[in-house]
Amino acid sequence: MTRKVRFVKAGIIFSLFLSPLFLVAEDTGVNFVHGLSWEQVKAKAKAENKYIFVDCFATWCGPCKYMNEKIFSKKEIGEFINSKFISVAIQFDQTPEDRKEIKDWYKDAKKFEREFSINSFPTYLFFSPDGHVVHRITGSTKDDSLFISQVNDALKPEKQYYSLVEQYKYHKKDSSFLRDLLILSINFGDKMKASKIGNFYFDCLKNPFLKENLEIIIQTVESTKDKGFKFLLENQSKVTCIEKNAEIVVCNIIYSEYLERYFKADGPVANWKKILRVLKNKFPAVADKMVSQAKPNYYIIKKQWPEFEDALLTYMKNYQYQMSPFEKNNNAWNAFSFSKNAKVLKEAIKWSEGLIKEENFSDPNHIDTYANLLYKVGDVNQAIGWEKKAIQLAAYNNNIRQSTSFKDNLRKMERGENTWN
């Protein structure tokens, strides 16, 4: 069964009494099949000798909605895709409103996510008539002809991404070929393939410390087992002077492999002494800082407030001068949000005040944090004055969302109401 235009993303059931305008739209858009399993989609494609076009989307994804409403509904897009592809849309998030048709694809969506490294939306996958993946596109576009050109690449073996990926096995010492393929993998959001190819590319590099090489290494490292990871870790101080994102990448990978499980709802209780011992054995250069950074967030999740306060003060005392402005402000905001301890709040005021002075009073978010901290310790007049400055800066930056939020805080301050939950 096929329908010309899909309304599945919005999860809305339309009346049978459609207006003539909708009936016209149904005749001009992309045909997305409904009510078929993945095996049935592949069988249909094979029987009709057509490629398969898979739209990987999420209901919360704005660009996905744009493509659905503004691109897939167009006559020229529909005519091109319908003539060459069997099309199916797969929803990758899960909502309470999902119909049975969506739920029937949950298992396949998870399989696609793992197998094809789907980590951004929209992503479009293309399969040959015999069911083998050949190409992918990531991201939306407002250019009809560009989208048609990108889709058309799926029909050309010399342009098919996955066909090119298979060739890397024959070019393991060709740094130019591997670099071009890595850039494709990065642009298409295929982290798994980028990581695998990146290991061979690293072996080809004569000077990995060149900035352009470091940028590629940083974008392709996905695991502590990757050669690029070991290089970044062992040369951290030298690398960080050239490419400051290196430390963030290293720590994020260690976090995902060694710490993330403790932050899940059903995760184990953290034995910090044991965790620190393990990390120091494997990653001595970053172990202390990572554990110190993780503790406050862990205690927030567990709602262990005295432990959170102690951990936050310790972390800020030892590492605040190594933090980005974002992290400094985030820690000050956490103190405001989760602590009633006067000592903690006063320390957070010092962090926040130092930050806004460093930035020459230029970030309205950081000023808002400072104002809220002052308000929570009872310095109401000062708090109101600083909140007004945050509002002025937000208005100057034409940031309506910030202005609305800050004005709400100001009203609460003037009424003597809490600005915290």
pLDDT in tens, 36-45: 999 999 999 9
pLDDT classification of 28: cutoffs 50, 70, 90: confident
Residue 70: count of CB within 10 angstroms of its CB: 13
Instruction: Say whether both 121 and 208 belong to one domain.
Output: no
* Preceding amide of 122 cis, omega within 30: yes
Rg of the chain's alpha carbons, rounded to an integer? 26
Are the beta carbons of 226 and 191 closer than 8 angstroms? Answer: no
- φ, ψ of residue 154 in degrees (nearest 5): -65, -20
Task: Name the band, by pLDDT with cuts 50, 70 and 90, for residue 12.
Answer: very low
Q: Are residues 281 and 377 in the same domain?
A: no
Strand ranges, E, within 98-209: 123-127, 133-138
Which residue matches tokens 């800082």? 289
Name residues whose C-beta falls within 8 Å of residue 362's C-beta, 6 or more positions apart in sequence.
393
pLDDT for the residue 27: 58
CATH of the domain at 101: 3.40.30.10
CB count in 10 Å sphere of residue 152: 13
**Structural domain boundaries, residue 89:** 2-159
DSSP letters spanning 133-148: EEEEEES--S-HHHHH
Cα(68)–Cα(63) distance, rounded to whole angstroms?
A: 9
Domain end marker among 243, 269, 300: 243
Question: Interior CA angle at 359 toward 353 and 360, to 5°?
Answer: 85
Separation in Å, CA 180 to CA 169, 176, 352: 14, 6, 44
Instruction: Flag whether 317 is in a domain.
Output: no
Separation of alpha carbons 389 and 360, rounded Å: 13
Do 260 and 131 reside in the same domain of the chain?
no
pLDDT digit string (tens) for 218-236?
Answer: 989 999 999 999 999 989 8
Structural domains in the chain (count): 4
Look-up: residue for tokens 């004005």?
Answer: 407
CB-based contact 138:189 (threshold 8 Å): yes
Overall average pLDDT of the 84-107 stretch = 95
